[in-house]
Amino acid sequence: MCGSFEDFGAGVSGSAGEFRPIVRFLGTDLDGSLKIPYALAAVKGIGVPLGYAIARAAGVDAEKRLGFLGDEELKRLEEVAKNPLGHGIPAWMLNRRKDPATGKDLQLYGSDLVYAIREDIQREMRIKSWRGVRHSLGLKVRGQRTRTTGRFGTAVGVSRRRQ
């Protein structure tokens, strides 16, 4: 039977010998043909350096392809990703240092990260800080020049008089 799912070697058991083209990790479907750090970088909140750190802390060879990992190795990777500080990953690699609500260093993934960023912007707008006012007006926030850039649909230059 040509073109069936079995032709790709994607088994259900997930032993170390078989290849899985799609791997589910932290609620995201990842490409099994990529090396571990690059595959993990497809999860929102993980970059390539953090992917290397997670693989190293889990005791998995970072040069392996994600699709060839077994269930126990994937479980270890997910365990390290959920609690990076507890497995020796330094706090400076995390994406949510000194969370305003809890004061802890956190690592957020996926929709949790999107929600936290949106809440930070809403808080800035509520307290009417400079950044919050710029966000609410739709202007550039980080000190860029706005004389010629950041315009919406208007051309920059000299307009000639019609003859």
**Which numeric CATH code is attached to 9-93?**
1.10.8.50
Placement of tokens 């800035």 in the chain: 124
Beta-carbon count within 10 A of 20 CB:
22
Beta-carbon count within 10 A of 23 CB:
22
Residue-range domain boundaries for the chain: 9-93, 109-143
Amino acid identity at 48:
V
Q: Whole-model pTM?
A: 0.74
The confidence score (pLDDT) of residue 15 equals 55
H or E stretch at 133 = helix 130-137
pLDDT tens sequence across 87-106: 999 999 999 999 888 899 99
pLDDT tens sequence across 56-76: 999 999 999 999 999 999 999
Q: What is the DSSP string of 21-83?
A: SEEEETTEEEETTSBHHHHHTTSTT--HHHHHHHHHHHT--TTSBGGG--HHHHHHHHHHHH-
pLDDT in tens, the chain (163 residues): 444 444 444 444 455 568 888 989 888 899 999 999 999 999 999 999 999 999 999 999 999 999 999 999 999 999 999 999 999 999 999 999 998 888 999 999 988 899 999 999 999 999 999 999 999 998 999 988 888 887 776 666 677 788 7
